[in-house]
Amino acid sequence: MTVKNGFNERISALGSLLQAEGRVQLEMEEISYLHDRFSSWMTLFEVAGLLWEFRFNKFLRELLVLCTDGNIDELRAMARDFYLQGKNAHDASREYKSITAKRRKDINAIVETTPENSL
């Protein structure tokens, strides 16, 4: 990895902010991702935004793998809320499956009570 102008300082500052907030520290995979996308004009806020994007996309991929029978567009829409609530992918997949199971049950109940000739 080549050293980019200002990268180490911003990564160090970001690590300090994460530590002060009691959040998960940077992993090597994250540092590599940030380094590949870093430009010297970026502010610490922009670097933090890249980190959020990386972590969210990783969360979304895990969620999609856990919910292979789910609606992809619906999962993408719900993933942001799950992520912002601090849920891990396993908890989010359980909640998504619970929501969709209830929805299916409600739809089945409606279908069962609808007379055949009105369909």
Return the domain boundaries, the chain. 7-118
The pLDDT assigned to 28 comes to: 92
| 3-state SS record for 7-32 | HHHHHHHHHHHHHHCCCCCCCHHHHH
- The residue ranges of the chain whose pLDDT is under 50 are none
**If you search the block for the tokens 């029978």, which residue do you land on?**
69
The pLDDT assigned to 110 comes to: 77
Q: Output the six-digit token pair for 31.
A: 């540092």
The pLDDT assigned to 118 comes to: 55
Query: Sign of dihedral through CA atoms 17, 21, 26, 30?
Result: negative
Give the number of other CB atoms < 10 A from CB of residue 87.
17
Q: What is the pTM of this model?
A: 0.74
The pLDDT assigned to 116 comes to: 67
The pLDDT assigned to 65 comes to: 95
Q: 55 near 27, Cβ under 8 Å?
A: no
| Ramachandran region, residue 4 (left: φ > 0; alpha: ψ -120 to 50; beta: rest) | beta
The pLDDT assigned to 87 comes to: 92
The pLDDT assigned to 12 comes to: 92
| DSSP at 3 | P
Radius of gyration of the chain (CA): 21
